[in-house]
């Protein structure tokens, strides 16, 4: 008896399954992570940090403790990352998700990314669970701060115009809670969707990682796109192994 599976045939089968699930879905939710921006040249946290930042730990830099200990170093790290984000361009993976949104009546895009590449690819409504790297507010009183060019290249964070404390990027740091209203929307989308598409996330940062599990528990189908297997891969109805910039355009074409 023939027991070997042809890997190419298996891949085609997974793609066809995913396309069918998306084609027949009434409500689709999509969760993206750092992996979708990797092909735009923005490093994931799990990639080793390079150059100037090789010896710094992102878990320490992206935290209130790190900012209190050395606001200057944290500020310069964010200004460097902001510049990389602004120089980067959306890739075919971001564009495929914007196309999917345009085709589907009920589509919710939830991202853990702090970059704006989904928006620049044409996605119209993006829930940023972890905030945005191009927005700023006071670390003490929360007052919004519009950054000047001079402040961007300064070695230390600017001071809040309302209370004089340090201004920080409006991203969610390790140990902080997520913006409540955005998390509520994301939660509701996960509860109501019949397909959840999970792209480029290792699924180890909570509560974001809970969203696909919740969707599945309530009966939704899961589709995962990631070059590496994760804890979700075995429970996914379709696991599409590969980079988002290649797999997502193929998937869109197959729908
Ligand atoms: P992560 O770094 O934990 O995992 C990235 C995942 O992407 C991995 O599973 C990896 O296999 C996968 N991946 C790598 N290249 C890929 C590709 N070309 N296509 C598809 N998948 C690919 O990222 P995470 O799960 O988002 O969680 C880490 C945290 O880091 C988040 O809180 C996020 O806010 C933050 N972060 C954001 C950015 C950004 O905004 N672009 C960048 C780095 C880190
Ligand atoms: Zn203030």
pLDDT of residue 232 exceeding 60: yes
The pLDDT assigned to 4 comes to 67
The pLDDT assigned to 162 comes to 97
Spell out the alpha helix ranges (H) of the chain.
Answer: 7-24, 35-38, 58-61, 64-69, 71-87, 92-103, 117-121, 149-152, 180-192, 210-217, 244-254
Domain with CATH 3.30.1600.10 in the chain: 43-87+131-171
Catalytic residue ranges = 130
CATH 3.30.1600.10 fits 43-87+131-171, yes or no: yes
Q: What is the distance between the alpha carbons of residues 234 and 144, in angstroms, rounded to a whole number?
A: 43
Average pLDDT (124-150) is 97
Closest residue by Cα to atom 37, ligand 1, is 113
Give tens-digit pLDDT for 65-90.
999 999 999 999 999 999 999 999 99
Q: Ligand 1 — pocket residues by CB below 6 A?
A: 33-39, 42, 44-46, 112-115, 130, 200-202, 204-205, 225-228, 230, 243-244
Q: Model confidence at 59, in pLDDT bands (50, 70, 90)?
A: confident
CA of 231 to the centre of ligand 1 (A): 15
Q: Model confidence at 101, in pLDDT bands (50, 70, 90)?
A: very high
Domain with CATH 3.40.50.1220 in the chain: 1-41+89-130+178-255
Q: What is the distance between the alpha carbons of residues 82 and 132, in angstroms, rounded to a whole number?
A: 10
Structure tokens that stand for 138 in this block: 């006071």
The pLDDT assigned to 1 comes to 47
The pLDDT assigned to 120 comes to 98
Query: Which ligand has an atom closest to residue 39 CA?
Result: 1
Name residue 198's beta-bridge partners.
31, 224
Structure tokens that stand for 174 in this block: 């390790």
CA of 140 to the centre of ligand 2 (A): 5
CATH of 1-41+89-130+178-255, one of 3.40.50.1220, 3.40.718.10, 1.10.150.120, 3.30.56.10: 3.40.50.1220
Average pLDDT (172-197) is 96
Out of 36-45, 89-98, 147-156, 179-188, least confident range: 36-45
Average pLDDT (17-44) is 95
Please, what is the average pLDDT of the chain?
Answer: 94
Q: What is the largest CA-CA distance in the chain?
A: 76
Structure tokens that stand for 186 in this block: 């994301």
The pLDDT assigned to 225 comes to 98
């Amino acid at each position: 008896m023939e027991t070997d599976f042809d890997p190419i045939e298996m891949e085609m089968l997974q793609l066809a399954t995913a396309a069918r699930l998306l084609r027949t879905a009434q409500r689709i939710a999509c969760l993206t992570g750092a992996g979708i921006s990797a092909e735009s040249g923005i490093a994931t946290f799990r990639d080793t940090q390079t150059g100037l930042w090789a010896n710094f730990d992102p878990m320490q830099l992206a935290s209130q403790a790190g900012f209190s200990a050395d606001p200057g170093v944290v500020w310069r790290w964010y200004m460097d990352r902001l510049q990389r984000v602004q120089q980067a361009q959306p890739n075919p993976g971001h564009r495929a998700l914007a196309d999917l949104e345009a085709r589907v009546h009920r589509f919710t895009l939830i991202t853990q990314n702090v970059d704006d590449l989904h928006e620049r690819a044409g996605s119209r409504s993006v829930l940023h669970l972890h905030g945005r790297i191009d927005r700023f507010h006071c670390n003490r009183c929360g007052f919004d701060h519009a950054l000047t060019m001079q402040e961007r290249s300064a070695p230390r964070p600017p001071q809040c115009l309302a209370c004089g404390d340090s201004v920080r990027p409006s991203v969610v740091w390790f140990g902080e809670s997520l913006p409540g209203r955005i998390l509520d929307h994301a939660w509701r989308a996960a509860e109501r969707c019949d397909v959840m598409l999970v792209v480029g996330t290792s699924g180890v940062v909570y509560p974001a990682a809970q969203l696909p599990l919740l969707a599945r528990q309530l009966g939704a189908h899961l589709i995962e796109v990631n070059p590496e297997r994760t804890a979700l891969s075995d429970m996914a109805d379709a696991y599409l192994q590969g980079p988002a910039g290649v797999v997502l355009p193929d998937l869109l074409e197959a729908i």
